[in-house]
Amino acid sequence: MTKVTLITGGSRGIGAATARLCAAEGHAVAINYRSDATAAEKVRVEVESAGAKAMVVQADTGVESDIMRMFEEVDRNLGTVTGLVNNAGIHGPRGRLDALSAGDIDRVLEVNVRGCFLCAREAIKRMSTKHGGAGGSIVNVSSGSARLGNPNDGVLYAASKGAVNSLTIGLSQEVAGEGIRVNTVAPGLTATDMPPPDKLETQGPGIPIGRVAEASEIAEAIVWLLSDKASYTAGANIRVGGGRIWPVRRRATRSLPIRRRSRLLARRRALR
């Protein structure tokens, strides 16, 4: 049976890379986009050039009626969804929390949290053996920010991705007995259009592996979780972050002479 995979936020970055890799694995791919139809069509052409079926579907994943319509369109055009990649997300305004409006907060939570929950709900209705489905896989795309916190830049974004991590933990147990595997991939800093270019340039060398990720490297983990090779993997949070577990600024001392670096690190520890 051909896998039918819906990728939210599939017109760019990690979503587009996942669509291309799914096509290479023989999936029929539904590419969701919110506003950039041209980019989505480009990805569709690439998927079809790889010999896979594809469609594009416009929907704002912050709007419930859009989500329900999106799944219905996929049902009609490709068949019942067997894989969902909850990838759509927004960062929101960068800066401190005390500079954000209630509207800023609501919009990020609508897309990153509420949208993720609602898409998972619609997928479960179709996949669950309890509802007559044949099972499937849900991959929630989180972020290393959920662990790092993103102070002074995006605590709202980080918190929204922490909610995604918690969703995976609970939901994976809720539906595992119904043939559905739920997992998370948490990308580190990745060369997409979400991070500011200067952040990619300045922080990349401070990551233990020495560079930022390519979107295709994140897609590899996502597509593995969608595959039968991950048949016993549920409730996992796979960190694809180049070994980064602390904010990069903590590693800036590497370039200092050894004695000076040791004194600086000792002073930092004394202040904790």
User: What pairing do the DSSP bridges indicate for beta strands 4-7 and 28-33?
Assistant: parallel
257 C-beta neighbours (distance < 10 Å), count: 8
**CA 41 → CA 30, 38, 67, 89, 263, distances in Å?**
11, 5, 19, 20, 55
Given the residues 157, 183, 204, 248, select the one marked as catalytic: 157
User: What pairing do the DSSP bridges indicate for beta strands 28-33 and 54-58?
Assistant: parallel
Nearest C-alpha neighbor of 138 from the set 112, 176, 190, 108: 176
Rg (CA), the chain: 19
Q: What angle do CA 68, 110, 191 make, to 5 degrees?
A: 100
- The C-alpha atoms of residue 6 and residue 85 are separated, in whole angstroms, by 6
| 157 given a catalytic annotation | yes
* Partners of 84 in the β-ladder: 6, 138
> Which residues, including other chains, have CB under 8 Å from residue 35's CB and lie 6 or more apart?
none
| Residues known to be catalytic | 157
